[in-house]
Structure 1
Amino acid sequence: MNRSLAKKYRLIDLFSGAGGFTLGFTDSRYGGGFQSILALDNDKAALESYAANFGRHGILANIEDWLGTKPKIPLSDVVIGGLPCQGFSLLNKKRQGDSRRSLWQPFMQVVESTQASIFVIENVSEFLRSKECNESKELAERIGFKTACAILNSADYGVPQIRRRGFIIGWKQKASLSPCFPPLPTHSNLPLLSNLPNWLTVRDAIGDLPEPEGTEIRKIPPPLDLHFGRNPTAISLARYQAVPPGGNRFDLQKNAPELTPDCWIKKTSGGTDLFGRLWWDKPSVTIRTEFFKPEKGRYLHPEKHRPITHREAARLMGFPDDFRFIGSKSEIAKQIGNAVPPPLAGAIARTIRVMLDSFEKERDECLLFRS
């Protein structure tokens, strides 16, 4: 067997959250071929989830504080990180003064320290249009990396969700092989033209789940452990019932104006997803951290009079049912909404695996020539 095919490449995940990015790199269902050796996050519950799925090698800390202790960082092949998106999100009206916009700097410090051959940064698509993105690429070039950028839609890679995110991949300039980046899609919204399977839909992801039971996390096997509901007030339930399939807050205003908040009535444009229902036969909208609140987006079930459950949200993010989430209801919701969808991560991992195998082959041939 080729030695590179049996090798597990060393992976560091910064701003790891619960580990959606790591799962795509380490699980053979998605990409595989990588071994997680270190994770870092400042969310205690998220790191508990990470430990439950990948082992206890996570560090609970802010990255700047951790680097300030001058830690001994292990050597790695790849460093990945979903940098906090709030500093670049259009939802953050004060984003220009947000200190989280500079977290690419300690990320690159780790990349350099660990002597990685490749790094990957994920963030909202607005990041790629920022000066911070340009600065990070300039620094990467100074320390010996070439870079490529792309905005990827998770639906193109087998995730039942429209989620567009920006990615930077960097690889050592000494390598002769450039990456196939962005990765070739595995799914399409034009299957007849592309010869690819159609985008996965909400029905594909959650259509087999029964009605949720209770309002708390249950100590039973997945998927029903996280498949719990809420206790809506009478007015909330009446609002849900006023929204037809595919509808949103404008339907609520039309069908039940007496139930519509004044602020929505006065705001006659924008926010078409607020209090909206998902469509059975389309991918989900972007799942955020408060998906259990329909006033935050199109998070009502396609036909039931309720928001989606935690299990439904996890499936819409592409998490398998056997992935373990640890924490309170709100902590787990945050972990789900902040994750990099594992199938999308896996598509990137497969590209990187090809590159690293090529690096190994080049090195072996060079050593053979010298001998």
Structure 2
Amino acid sequence: MAARKREIRKVDQPVYTVADLFAGAGGLTQGFQSAGYRPVAAVEFDRWAARTYSINFGPHVLACPIEEVEIARSSRGLAWSGQNVEGVAVKLDTPEIDVLVGGPPCQGFSPLGRMNDWSFDDPRNGLWRHYMRVLDILNPKVFVIENVPEILKSQEFERLKRYVKKLGRGYQLTFGVLNASFFGVPQNRKRAIIIGSRISHATLPPETFDRCTVRDAIGDLTAEPTGHHLHVGRNPQARSLERYKCVPEGGNRFDLMRLRPDLAPKCWLQKKTGSTDVFGRMRWDEPAPTIRTEFFKPEKGRYLHPVAHRPITLREAARLQTFPDEFEFSGSHVQIAKQIGNAVPVRLAYRIALHIRTMLLPDGTQAERKKGEIGVAS
């Protein structure tokens, strides 16, 4: 079916090592692994997300605050100290790291956070400093930082650029905002991508224009949730179900207010303007909106199924984030939704990873460098 035609094809050679900070469930790692990299270390504070990572990639994840992680050089490469998913102190031996990736928590930058403006005093905005501390120790050939677009306009980003220059490692920086929908992801999701390279000129991956729609991603799944393999739904109250039925494909809360004002909350009726995504229904033949952590709540965005009278399921959200069906999640449904919504879309990570492979190739392999899109699925 359409959803299966666009699966990511794994790349075999050569193998580069990758470490993932603020790894979450492992969206970045999954993309890099599919592009031929070997994940050897990860750090993730949330225990349930760390468990998910461990299930899919192995026990090399430290489930503790990055501030508590210590890294030292050893005769075998690198020695990492922290806690595992069981809360037990452990030491992790890894080889040298070719690529360091990560997305420091971004709520302090995001307009969806509790701050009315970007807060330079928000401690979450300073976590990039711990990323830089690890970068200084590891000295990878290339590093990648993923975040909300607002970071590029922040004071912290200016500090980050100065810090990278101060390291004196010769890292060249490139940065910009990428829309995941231009990289084969069935979702309009804009993210800031910062790439630093000390071995070659740093560039952002070119857009592929491999357009993928909601239908491509979830069209083969049953409209009625099966209750298995995360294709599970909520049991809406009768009033909620009547509300869902008033919203056409591509519609939103304004359709409900027009057709059945008696079903609309008073606060909606009192506010005639606002987001057109609230209580919205997806369109089959367009990318989905940004999948966030509470996609199971229609009042949080355009999360109604294109035709079924319900919000999207966990499996559908995972598909829209381009996680492979065999990827296993750990935790309650709410915890899994958080892991899915916080993840970097796997296919976007894959495209970034493929592009970085061309930066890592020796100068003499121009034929491979020109291919650029090694292993791209048809």
How does the TM-score come out when normalised to structure 2?
0.84
1:285-326 deviation digits (Å, cap 9, x = unpaired): 000000000000000011111000011111111111111111
Alignment partner of 1:53 is 2:56: yes
CA shift in 2, pair 1:67/1:257, >3 Å: farther
Between the two proteins, the alignment pairs up a number of residues equal to: 332
Alpha-carbon distance in structure 2 between the residues aligned to 1:360 and 1:274: 53
Alignment partner of 1:115 is 2:127: no
1:239-264 deviation digits (Å, cap 9, x = unpaired): 10111221101111111111111111
8 A Cα contact 2:71 2:137, kept in partner: no
Alpha-carbon distance in structure 2 between the residues aligned to 1:8 and 1:57: 18
Which of residues 169, 174, 178 is equivalent to 2:195?
169
In structure 2, give the amino acid aligned to 1:183. P
Contiguous gaps of at least 5 residues in structure 1? 188-196, 219-224, 363-371
Partner of 1:12: 19
In structure 1, give the amino acid aligned to 2:216. D
In structure 2, give the amino acid aligned to 1:125. P
Alpha-carbon distance in structure 2 between the residues aligned to 1:33 and 1:239: 47
Alpha-carbon distance in structure 1 between the residues aligned to 2:14 and 2:166: 29
3-state SS, counterpart of residue 136 of structure 1: helix
In structure 2, give the amino acid aligned to 1:58. V
Partner of 2:204: 182
Which of residues 75, 78, 88 is equivalent to 2:99?
78
Alpha-carbon distance in structure 2 between the residues aligned to 1:124 and 1:347: 18
3-state SS, counterpart of residue 226 of structure 1: coil
Q: What's the offset of the Cα at 1:33?
A: 2.1
Alignment partner of 1:62 is 2:74: no
Alpha-carbon distance in structure 1 between the residues aligned to 2:26 and 2:164: 25
1:116-141 deviation digits (Å, cap 9, x = unpaired): 11110000111111111111111111
CA shift in 2, pair 1:55/1:265, >3 Å: same
In structure 2, give the amino acid aligned to 1:109. R
Alpha-carbon distance in structure 1 between the residues aligned to 2:225 and 2:183: 32
8 A Cα contact 2:71 2:79, kept in partner: no
Alignment partner of 1:253 is 2:253: no
Alpha-carbon distance in structure 2 between the residues aligned to 1:308 and 1:17: 21
Alpha-carbon distance in structure 1 between the residues aligned to 2:194 and 2:224: 39
Alignment partner of 1:289 is 2:293: yes
Q: What's the offset of the Cα at 1:7?
A: 3.5
More helix by share: 1
Partner of 1:102: 126
Partner of 1:190: none
Contiguous gaps of at least 5 residues in structure 2? 1-11, 81-93, 367-378
1:323-346 deviation digits (Å, cap 9, x = unpaired): 111111011101110001111111
3-state SS, counterpart of residue 177 of structure 2: strand
Partner of 2:274: 270
Partner of 1:34: 37
Superposed CA RMSD in Å reads: 2.0
In structure 2, give the amino acid aligned to 1:186. T
8 A Cα contact 2:48 2:331, kept in partner: yes
Q: What's the offset of the Cα at 1:66?
A: 2.4
In structure 1, give the amino acid aligned to 2:42. A
Q: What's the offset of the Cα at 1:213?
A: 3.6
User: 327-336 or 71-80, which moves further after superposition?
Assistant: 71-80
Alignment of 1:206-355 (within 5 A): 206-213=218-225, 218=228, 225-355=229-359
In structure 1, give the amino acid aligned to 2:125. R
Q: What's the offset of the Cα at 1:361?
A: 7.0
3-state SS, counterpart of residue 358 of structure 1: coil
Partner of 1:191: none
Which of residues 191, 211, 217 is equivalent to 1:205?
217
1:107-165 deviation digits (Å, cap 9, x = unpaired): 01101101211110000111111111111111111212121101001011100000000
| Percent identity (aligned) | 48
Alpha-carbon distance in structure 1 between the residues aligned to 2:71 and 2:36: 32
Q: What's the offset of the Cα at 1:208?
A: 1.0
8 A Cα contact 2:18 2:37, kept in partner: yes
Q: What's the offset of the Cα at 1:355?
A: 1.3
8 A Cα contact 2:225 2:313, kept in partner: no
In structure 1, give the amino acid aligned to 2:15. K
Bigger relative contact order (CA 8 A; separation at least 6): 1
User: 285-294 or 32-41, which moves further after superposition?
Assistant: 32-41
Alpha-carbon distance in structure 2 between the residues aligned to 1:117 and 1:68: 18
Q: What's the offset of the Cα at 1:77?
A: 1.0
CA shift in 2, pair 1:208/1:146, >3 Å: same
Alpha-carbon distance in structure 1 between the residues aligned to 2:150 and 2:265: 31
Q: What's the offset of the Cα at 1:358?
A: 2.4
Alpha-carbon distance in structure 2 between the residues aligned to 1:250 and 1:10: 50
